[in-house]
Structures are given as structure tokens and as C-alpha cells.
A and B are shown apart, each in its own frame.
Chain A
Amino acid sequence: MHRTAFFALLSHWRRQPLQLLALLLGLAAATALWTGVQAINQEARASYDAAASALGQGTEQRLVSDGPIPRETFVALRRAGWLVSPVVEGELEGVTLLGIDPFTLPPTAASPNLQGPRLEQFVGGGLMFANADTAARLPGYNVETAANVPGGQVTADVTTAWDLLGADGFSYLVLLSPQPRGLPPLSDVAPVLSTVTEESAGDIANLTRSFHLNLTAFGLLSFAVGLFIVHAAIGLAFEQRRAMFRTLRALGLPARSLVALLAGETVLFALIAGGLGIALGYGVASALLPGVAGTLRGLYGASVPGSLTLDPAWVLSGLAITFAGAGAAATSSLWKVARLPILAPARPRAWAMASVRGRVAQAGFGALLVMVSLGIAVHGEGLIAGFAMLGSLLFGAALMLPLALDLALRSVAPLAKGVMADWVLADTRQQLPGMSLALMALLLALAANIGVGTMVSSFRATFTGWIDQRLASEIYVTAQTPAQAVALRAFLDAEADATLPLRTAEARLAGAPADILGVVEHRTYQEGWPLIESVPDAWARMNAGEGAFINEQLWRRTGLAMGDRLELRPGWALPVVGVYTDYGNPEGQAMVAQGALLARVEGISPLRFSARVAPERVDMLRAKLEDFGIPPGNILDQASVKRFSLDVFDRTFLVTGALNVLTLGVAAFAILVSLTTLAGMRLPQLAPVWAMGLTRARLARLELLRAVLFAALTFLFALPLGLTVAWMLLNVVNVQAFGWKLPMLAFPLEWLRLLALAVLAAFLAAALPAWRLGRVAPSRLLKVFADER
């Protein structure tokens, strides 16, 4: 009995293959986007952990000082019994150069393989190790490929690092664990050192948390849009099978069994679609991961491999969310089946035909959500609150859409001239309940597109302008040795219009890693570093060593006011006299007079310079520098730095763009499903119109027109919603996630493009049902009148 009943239920799908496809694809697409995003997040986290454990411990205790730690201090600590291992950290061609001592490295450290003669090459011969990607970025260096070196990092012996960085001493000492028993106190052996707990993983994980949250939010949005499709397909199948349910129940199938069978059917579909979705998700993630990896590297300096590993965690989470989604979509239908009277009339009700009252109630709930969103905007704090605000705004607005569309159609009704227009408008309103789920999905997709698009474009425009201003020097040179740096200085003084030594010290500002820039007095800085907050004579005070500028990120994070003192080093604090924008930098930064910095901090690399020169002389100077003995890789001109920066930027938002397109695609599919569904049910409404003389072709064109009208109207609602989203992204989420606020710019051309895209999507989605209507057999239309209802 149950078996037969189950096959009877399944037979429905054989007769409605498109519906089956919609159900499975909808569920699969929803799962795919969700799983893909999860897979990317997982991969990134795994690689942060790998990077963190590169020196052994996930949470690493370090000894730091306010300058390089002298070699003697390291030896003194070891001789006192303290197990410490020295590390020199610096930057080489944009790659993190990690100088290590292979002899004292923690036993757990994943160091490169130094078997055989390679120790000699490593310790005495300058051999370095990096993974394949990173090694490719260091042509001309003695780099060997080693898979276990984290990306973006090149590992060398401390002596090699000293040579390449022109430095001496150590950036920090790793404190091994456990330590021997009975050691003399650290304060006796090395009083100037302090212990910090460096969560190398934690730093990156914190920085990138917002980014991953962003992705997750997108994944959820896509999933929600996908669920609209699933809900529509399941609801439709339920309505169409009312007659079958009645028959099965009349034949003696208990209601409980029927519900169980239907639930079993849902589980079956969830399994199939879930599997398909996870496979698709893997594809999506693999396609997007290189972009995401680029983003994370460019934006946060975090290194993530461009390839994906299959992790059971996200496979399971994907399946779980498929079941949850299918369950949510099927619950209301199952509940109805359970309460269905045995001999309920099998009238084919228009599915999901909501009463006006229902629509108003839904809109009321939507309005409530929007108000919640406003409440969060006023009172909420933090990134999660930002996303909660965005989420409730979007879904609240979506819930209000059907009523809003109804009102809009009603309000234009008086303008309709002629019976034909009257009928089209009325018929459109009549279709609204069936279309509303798909249109809500479209609204979400469009609003997210407008919001994110506006955010990205505003960011890009601002960033481009800012980088033009910031990168004022025509040429950037790095000497190879301190001796060469001295000669280079003299050479540039003679050849260039101005030489600006670039001096940077690593520091901890307000408890987090940061850089301190030491700048010389030159108009380049005054022109290139517009201050968004400052005191009078800010530049004069900074140049005199009497004040510090800080970047916007640090300013927002610390809440320092002008005149507040910022501790740059133990015992060295300066009042904050200005705040400058510093887009794209995940860390805090301070700017002080170079003389003051050099007087306070020892061991700053003296190798880097920028030079001002007339643009037409750049190539000549470059050639002269190469003759002077600077390797071409150490000379960067302004144009290539800009190109590099913009490239990084564009890659940053590649994934956002891709997810936008995917979401829009899912929404278009929802429209297709809804229209196909409606097509069958609408014959009774269209037959009389056809009988009165309207040709099938005309009716089909009107169907197309209606779909386009719906899309256009939805777009009109999506536009203000999207701009609100953009505003929230720029002024709330970005500030939380990145630490900077951006001006919001309008891009009407992009909106037009999106409108065209939405209309095109609706047109394409309506094309198949319309084409079918245009060719429906007259006998079928006639049959409407012959049917009993």
C-alpha cells in the first residue's frame, strides 16, 4: 500500500518534469552557493592556521623589544637556559622574508627540509625556501620550492635575512614551550624584553573575519533566494496533487502515512539535490577561490592557496542546510496535508493565492522588519549588527513588495485607457500572488546588486583618486646594502629633483601591530596625505617632531581625539595632530618626523628611497639607476605601483561581482519557474479573452509585456532599497570591517545596465511560457469551456 502510494505520489513528477527540474535545481543552486562560500571560508581558515603553526605553536609567546633584539641578548638568554629561537622578519619584493635559526627552531615548526648538503646552503649559502606561487614572485633570488612554507612568505637563515634586509639583530624571539625547570627570571636575564602573545593566526583571522562574514552573508542571501524557488515548486506540487491526495485518502491511506510519504519524498529530493548542490558548490568554490585568494592577499596580506581541498565539514554542512531548507519549504504544505479533510473538494485553487488580508499582514510584518533594521542602525554596534540590519531591511522590504506592487498597479488603473489596458492591468494584479515569491527573489537580487555595486564603485573611484594623490613620487628604489644606500642617496641627490628616504619601524600601537612611518619635510607629503581631521599647523608640528599623524583605521579603532597622546614606543608618546586616509591597509599606522623616529628607534632599514623627477625623465633615471648597480627588481616606477595597487583592488571585489551575477541568475530562474507554473493555471482566465477575439500571438506578447512590467516595477522598488544598502555598507559595515568610511557616489549608468539586465532576465524567463501560449492548441482553450468548472 505504502509502496504503491509512494509511486503514485512520485508519478506526479514524471508528468511534470519541468517542475521536478525546478525543485531539484532550485535546491541544488541554493545548496551550491552556500556550500561554495563555506568551502572558501574553510580553506582560508585552514591556511591561516597553517601559517600560524609555521613556527610551531598556534598561540606563540614572543619576546619583543622596542627595537631589534641584539644577537648577544639571544645568546645570553640561551646561556641562562631559556629556550628561545630568533626570528628576523622583513619584506623582500612584497613577500614576507622570515629569517630563522634552524638549530633552535621549536621542534614542532614546519621548517623546510634541510637534509644533506642543503643545511650548508641554507646557513652559509643564502638558500631560501618558498612555496611555488611565492617563489615565482622572487626571480633572481636563491629560492627553492618547498610546499610547507606558507604562501606569501620566504624562509631564510637569519644571516641571509640580515644580508637581504640590511639589518642586524632579531625582530623577536620565539619562546618555546615547555621551558626547563628552575630558570632565572626573564627580567634578570633580559630586562628590556617583554613577552607578548602573538596570535599570528588570530591577527589574520580577526582582520579577515569581516571578509568571511561578508561571504557568508552573500551565501545566505543566495540560499534564501534559492529557497523561494523550492518553496514555490513544492507548494505548486502540493496544489496540483490535491486530487491525488483525496483519492489516496479515500482508498484508505491514513493521513499520517501520507504525510510520512510526502516527507520521505522531500528527503529523497533533498538528498539528490544536496549531492548535486555540493558538487556544484565545489565547482563554484574552485572557480572563485583564486579570486578570493588574491583578495585576501591584496587586502590583508593573508596567504591562501588557490586550490581547494574537499573537507567533510562543509560537505556535511551543505547537506544539513539542504535538509533544513527543503524542510522549511515543505513544512507548510505538509501541515496542510495533515489537516486535509478526506473528502475535500479537489478544486484546483490558484496556488498560494493570498487574500488581500494575507498580503497586508505580510506587508505589516515586512514593515516591522524594516523598523527593526532602523532600530539596529541607531542602536546596534559591530559587524554582526551591521549585517543583521542589512538582512532585516532586505527581507522586510521583500515582504512588503507584493502589497507595494498591488498598490502601484491599482494607482495606475485610472490612467488606463480602453478596455484592453484595463484588462491587462487587472489581469496583472490577478497574477501578482503567483508571481510574488519570484519577484521578491528578484528584488533581493537587484537590491544586493545595486547596493554592493554602488559600494564597490564608490570605493574604486575614491581609491583611484586617493592613490593618484598618494603615489606622488615618480620612482621608488631599494638599495641592496646599507653601504649602497649611502651611495644611492648621494646619487639621487644629484640626479633627481628631490630624494625622500623612506623609513619605517614596526611597532605596536594601542596594542596591535602597526607601522610608524618616518617622513622628511617635503611638499610631496603635504599634497599626498590629505588630513580628514587635524589641528592648526598640523604639518609644521608633525615635521618638528612634536606630533604624530595616524591613519583612519587606527583613529577609528582607538577613538583618539586631536591632542591625545599616542604611545609610539615605551617612553615615547606624541600628541595626535592629524588623521589621514589609508585605504587598503589592514593595520594601524602612524606618521612622524623622520629625524624623531631615527633618534628613537634603532635598526631601521636604511635601504628605501623615493625620488621626485620630471615625468619625462623617469625612464632615463631608471636606466641610470640600473647602471648604478640597482637590480631592476628594486626599482619601481609610479605607474607600475599604481597598476599593481589597482590590480589588487579589482581582484578584491571579483568574488563579490561573481556572487552578484549568480544571485541574479537564481532570481531569473525563480521567475521562469513561477511563470511556467502560472501558465497552466491561467488558461481558464485567458480562454475567454481568446474567445472574444484576441489572437494567441497577441496574448503571448502581452504575457511578455507583463513579465517585463513586473521586472521594471520591481527594479523601481529595488533602486532606493539598494542605495540604502549601499549607504549601510559604506557607512556602517565598511567602517566596522575595514576601518574606513568612504563617500557614496552615484552611478546611474550602472543602474541602467542593471535595469536592462533585469528586464532581459524577465523577458527570457517569460519567453518559454509565452512561446508555448502562442502555440497552445485552440482545442485546449476550448476545452476550458467544456470543463465542469
Chain B
Amino acid sequence: MSVRCLFLAGILLCLAGVSHGQSFAGLGEDADGFAIPQPGDQFDFPTDHGPHPDYRIEWWYLTANLVGADGKDYGIQWTLFRSAREPRSDESWQSPQTWMGHAALTTPGAHFAAERFARGGTGQAGAQAKPFAAWIDDWEMAGSDTLDVITVTARSEDFAYRLDMVASGPLVFHGEDGHSVKSAEGQASRYYSQPFYEVAGEIEMPDGRIQVTGTAWLDREYSSQPLGRTQSGWDWFAFTFPDGHRMMAFELRDSENADYQSGSWIAPDGTVTQIADGTFDAQPLAFTMIGDRRVPTAWSFRYPERGVDVELTAINPQAWNDLAFAYWEGPFRFTGSHAGTGYLEMTGYE
């Protein structure tokens, strides 16, 4: 539907780029009065857990690798996107802020995804820092001001979940103090994460409920100009190592220039080491046809600096979020030099 597509204008910038690149190129280049992340910016918590209406786009993005009481792997996604048509916030029904929610549940044999939309200023959707809450309709992520303890709920006509999470480590900042550069030209976002959640909860599917436990990763990111004009999409990897390490790595595919890489190597105590451009190698090993799209769902991932040389395989290769704005998002397992679980997000394969 048209309105959805248009609402997504802001989001698309970050997630899809080239497939819609022509039409949105202008937004990428020019900030239209929106705030632009600057090197040296510092976070101010808990305020920064809340919304930043002076930035064009923002998200609260949670993914969880879970194991059910039945021993099977499960993955869930809970995302709230904020997109602004103007850099202002008002509590009227004509607010330029708009909201979109995505929720998904992946099992080895099925993938469910749902979406919600809301205009800003109505209370139907929003986020606040104190007490922390982010919501759209009855989908909610809420908890302590530090984000250490949060609960996430969502439901649609064919699935529902409720997960309680406790962080076992600190917040981590990507890039330089959270200034995460997205291209050689310097496009950047403010980006921090809580990658240390321990999860317990319940998921509900058409064939019943099941108790789950596992780990979860929350990304918080806001920006006004995230992608370069020729960047066609991205492949984003989040690894959870059994020894407590975490790794986030992304590669922005570029149709004209070299692909751009970045990431964070995260020690169990939260110490972050930046992963520099060109230091890891991610190669598709197998593709899955989803409709008429050819999507890589098994990868070889090598990061020699830390001795990582693994092969990762999607738990469900059909984890396609077939929503107004479609992309692949799902859990994986990896083996090789290390073994563990993680989450993979791939955009721009439309």
C-alpha cells in the first residue's frame, strides 16, 4: 500500500537504499534541518533511550536466539521504527513523526512476521526514556531506565510472545563513542547496543505455546543520513560466542564503490574494539530462492584478527519478512573455529 511505502521513505534509506535509491537519494544527501551525528557526540542516559525527533530515523531493534523446551531453535524480532518528515515533535494528530513496528517469530519450519503503523502525537505509538518504554499498539518493550531489565511483548493473528530479559553486561557503544560511520564518505549514525541479555519467556504459535530461554541483543540507532547514494543494502551479523564474547559486523554493499565494512568486537566485560573496514571477509556459501529473490542464507565468515573462521547457516532460510518493506531477518548457528548462535539481517535483496 502506498502510504506504507511512503512512510518507509526514511527507513528505506537505512535498510534498502538502492532498490529505491533513485527516489530517496535526495534525502540521503541533504539533512533538511535534521540533526546530523557528529564525531565527539556523547550519550546522555537515560534520555537517549527515548526518542530523538530531531533525527530523521531511529529504531529500537531487538533480536533473540532462543531454545525451546522442545530443544528446537527459535528466533524472535521486535522492532520499533520512528521516521520523521520534519525535525519536530508535537503532540497533535498532524505530527510529522510516524511509527512502524515489526515483529517476527522464526522456527526451523516456519516464519511469521507482522507489522503495525501509527501516526505520531496520538499515543498509539511512541517511546520514552523514563520510565523506559517503547510501544506501538499493544506491542511493547518496557523496563528499567538503564535497560538492564526489560520485557518485550507482541502478538498478531498467528503468533505472540512475551520475553523477560536481564542484562548480564553493560551497554556498548559502536564506532567512536557511538559515532558509527556507514560509508567512506562519512555518513554516520548514533549507535549503541545491549548485547548481553539473558532471556526467559513464552512464545505462542498456531500449534501451541512453548517456554523458551536464550540470549537477546538490543540495538539502538538514530541518524539522519545513514546510507550513501550507491549503497544498495546491507548484511548485518551479530554473533554470540559461548565464552561471553559478542561480535557485530556489517557490510554495506555498494553498487559503484567498494563495499564498506564496520563492526565491533565486544569482550564479556563490554570492552569494544572497532572492526575496521576490510578486515573481515563474508562470502555467501548457499543461496535460497524466496519467491524470485536469490538470498544468501549460508555464509563463510572470517575475521583473522580474532581467529574467527566459521560457517554460518540460517535456522530457517525462509525467514523473509514479507511486509510492506521486505527484508530477510533470522537466527543462525555457526560452526568452525567457534560455535554459537547469532542473528542475520539482509536488506536490498528485493
Contact A118 B160 (CB under 8 A): no
**B-facing residues in A140-156 (Cβ within 8 Å):** none
Contact B155 A101 (CB under 8 A): no
Contact B123 A159 (CB under 8 A): no
Contact B137 A78 (CB under 8 A): yes
- Chain B nearest Cβ from A739, distance in angstroms: 40
A71 lies within 8 A of chain B by Cβ: yes
B36 lies within 8 A of chain A by Cβ: no
User: Hey, which chain A residues are within 8 Å of B138, CB to CB?
Assistant: 78-81, 180
User: Hey, which chain B residues are within 8 Å of A104, CB to CB?
Assistant: 117-118, 124
Please tell me which one of the listed residues A71, A114, A124, A180 contacts residue B122 in the complex, with CB atoms under 8 A apart: A71
Task: Count how many chain B residues have C-beta atoms less than 8 Å from C-beta atoms of the other chain.
Answer: 30
Q: A75-B122, A78-B137, A181-B155 are in contact. Are A103 and B2 (CB under 8 A)?
A: no
Contact A115 B117 (CB under 8 A): no
User: Hey, which chain B residues are within 8 Å of A181, CB to CB?
Assistant: 155-158, 160, 204
Distance, CA A123 to CA B97, complexed state (A):
11
A182 lies within 8 A of chain B by Cβ: yes
CB nearest to B98 among chain A residues? A103
Contact A79 B94 (CB under 8 A): no
B85 lies within 8 A of chain A by Cβ: yes
Contact flags B258-301 to A (C-beta < 8 A → 1, else 0):
00000000000000000000000000000000000000000000
Q: A78-B137, A81-B155, A103-B3 are in contact. Are A116 and B23 (CB under 8 A)?
A: yes
Please tell me which one of the listed residues B2, B124, B135, B156 contacts residue A111 in the complex, with CB atoms under 8 A apart: B2
Contact flags B81-98 to A (C-beta < 8 A → 1, else 0):
000011000001110101
Distance, CA A202 to CA B100, complexed state (A):
34
B13 lies within 8 A of chain A by Cβ: no
- Chain A nearest Cβ from B141, distance in angstroms: 14
**A-facing residues in B1-46 (Cβ within 8 Å):** 1-3, 5-7, 9, 23
Q: A80-B138, A116-B23, A123-B94 are in contact. Are A102 and B3 (CB under 8 A)?
A: yes
Contact A119 B3 (CB under 8 A): yes
Contact A112 B2 (CB under 8 A): yes
CB nearest to A108 among chain B residues? B1
Q: A114-B3, A115-B6, A182-B155 are in contact. Are A79 and B160 (CB under 8 A)?
A: no
Distance, CA A79 to CA B99, complexed state (A):
14
Distance, CA A74 to CA B122, complexed state (A):
10
**A-facing residues in B98-156 (Cβ within 8 Å):** 98, 117-119, 122-124, 135, 137-138, 155-156
- Chain B nearest Cβ from A676, distance in angstroms: 63
Contact A79 B96 (CB under 8 A): no
User: Hey, which chain B residues are within 8 Å of A112, CB to CB?
Assistant: 2
A695 lies within 8 A of chain B by Cβ: no
Distance, CA A102 to CA B2, complexed state (A):
9
Contact B157 A103 (CB under 8 A): no
Distance, CA A180 to CA B2, complexed state (A):
23
Please tell me which one of the listed residues B23, B119, B204 contacts residue A103 in the complex, with CB atoms under 8 A apart: B119
User: Hey, which chain A residues are within 8 Å of B204, CB to CB?
Assistant: 181-182
Q: A103-B119, A114-B3 are in contact. Are A180 and B85 (CB under 8 A)?
A: no
A107 lies within 8 A of chain B by Cβ: yes
Distance, CA A104 to CA B98, complexed state (A):
12
Distance, CA A270 to CA B98, complexed state (A):
63
CB nearest to A162 among chain B residues? B93
A158 lies within 8 A of chain B by Cβ: yes
- Chain B nearest Cβ from A160, distance in angstroms: 9
Contact B93 A158 (CB under 8 A): yes
CB nearest to B5 among chain A residues? A115
Q: By CB atoms of chain B within 10 A, which of A71, A104, A112, A158 has the most?
A: A104
User: Hey, which chain A residues are within 8 Å of B3, CB to CB?
Assistant: 102-103, 105, 111, 114, 119
CB nearest to A109 among chain B residues? B1
- Chain A nearest Cβ from B180, distance in angstroms: 28
A113 lies within 8 A of chain B by Cβ: yes
Contact B1 A180 (CB under 8 A): no
- Chain A nearest Cβ from B171, distance in angstroms: 28
User: Hey, which chain A residues are within 8 Å of B92, CB to CB?
Assistant: 159
A91 lies within 8 A of chain B by Cβ: no
Distance, CA A515 to CA B157, complexed state (A):
37
Contact B2 A107 (CB under 8 A): no
A602 lies within 8 A of chain B by Cβ: no
Please tell me which one of the listed residues B9, B93, B135 contacts residue A116 in the complex, with CB atoms under 8 A apart: B9
Contact B2 A114 (CB under 8 A): yes
User: Hey, which chain A residues are within 8 Å of B85, CB to CB?
Assistant: 119-120, 124
User: Hey, which chain A residues are within 8 Å of B122, CB to CB?
Assistant: 71, 74-75
Contact B7 A180 (CB under 8 A): no
**B-facing residues in A159-193 (Cβ within 8 Å):** 159, 178-182
User: Hey, which chain B residues are within 8 Å of A180, CB to CB?
Assistant: 138, 155-157, 160
User: Hey, which chain A residues are within 8 Å of B96, CB to CB?
Assistant: 120, 124
CB nearest to B123 among chain A residues? A75
Q: A101-B119, A103-B117, A105-B1 are in contact. Are A78 and B156 (CB under 8 A)?
A: no
Q: By CB atoms of chain B within 10 A, which of A102, A107, A182 has the most?
A: A102
User: Hey, which chain B residues are within 8 Å of A103, CB to CB?
Assistant: 3, 7, 98, 117-119
- Chain A nearest Cβ from B4, distance in angstroms: 8
User: Hey, which chain B residues are within 8 Å of A116, CB to CB?
Assistant: 6, 9, 23
User: Hey, which chain B residues are within 8 Å of A81, CB to CB?
Assistant: 137-138, 155
Distance, CA A238 to CA B138, complexed state (A):
80
**B-facing residues in A38-92 (Cβ within 8 Å):** 71, 74-75, 78-81, 83
Distance, CA A111 to CA B2, complexed state (A):
8
Please tell me which one of the listed residues B2, B6, B23, B137 contacts residue A79 in the complex, with CB atoms under 8 A apart: B137
Q: A104-B117, A105-B1, A107-B1 are in contact. Are A124 and B94 (CB under 8 A)?
A: yes
User: Hey, which chain A residues are within 8 Å of B124, CB to CB?
Assistant: 74-75, 78-79, 104
User: Hey, which chain B residues are within 8 Å of A109, CB to CB?
Assistant: 1
User: Hey, which chain A residues are within 8 Å of B117, CB to CB?
Assistant: 103-104
Contact flags A115-132 to B (C-beta < 8 A → 1, else 0):
110111001100000000
User: Hey, which chain A residues are within 8 Å of B123, CB to CB?
Assistant: 75, 79
User: Hey, which chain A residues are within 8 Å of B155, CB to CB?
Assistant: 81, 180-182
**B-facing residues in A277-314 (Cβ within 8 Å):** none
- Chain B nearest Cβ from A645, distance in angstroms: 37
- Chain A nearest Cβ from B62, distance in angstroms: 19
**B-facing residues in A542-599 (Cβ within 8 Å):** none
- Chain B nearest Cβ from A88, distance in angstroms: 11
Distance, CA A121 to CA B160, complexed state (A):
36
- Chain B nearest Cβ from A162, distance in angstroms: 8
Contact B6 A159 (CB under 8 A): no
User: Hey, which chain A residues are within 8 Å of B6, CB to CB?
Assistant: 114-116, 118-119
Distance, CA A101 to CA B94, complexed state (A):
11
- Chain B nearest Cβ from A158, distance in angstroms: 7
Q: A114-B3, A115-B2, A119-B85 are in contact. Are A179 and B157 (CB under 8 A)?
A: yes
User: Hey, which chain A residues are within 8 Å of B7, CB to CB?
Assistant: 103, 119
Distance, CA A115 to CA B98, complexed state (A):
15
Distance, CA A182 to CA B124, complexed state (A):
19
Distance, CA A681 to CA B82, complexed state (A):
90
- Chain B nearest Cβ from A84, distance in angstroms: 10
CB nearest to A177 among chain B residues? B157
CB nearest to B24 among chain A residues? A116
Q: A120-B85, A181-B160, A182-B160 are in contact. Are A78 and B118 (CB under 8 A)?
A: yes
- Chain A nearest Cβ from B98, distance in angstroms: 7
Interface residue ranges, B against A (CB under 8 Å): 1-3, 5-7, 9, 23, 85-86, 92-94, 96, 98, 117-119, 122-124, 135, 137-138, 155-158, 160, 204
* Listed A/B pairs (24) with beta-carbon separation below 8 Å: A71-B93, A71-B122, A75-B122, A75-B124, A79-B123, A79-B135, A79-B137, A103-B3, A103-B117, A104-B124, A105-B1, A107-B1, A112-B2, A114-B6, A115-B2, A116-B9, A119-B85, A120-B86, A123-B119, A124-B85, A159-B93, A179-B157, A180-B160, A181-B157
Of all A-B residue pairs in the complex, the 8 with the closest CB atoms, nearest first, are A81-B138, A102-B3, A103-B117, A178-B157, A114-B3, A113-B2, A119-B6, A180-B155
Besides A102-B3, A115-B2, 8 other CB < 8 A contacts? A78-B118, A79-B124, A104-B117, A116-B23, A119-B7, A179-B157, A180-B155, A181-B204
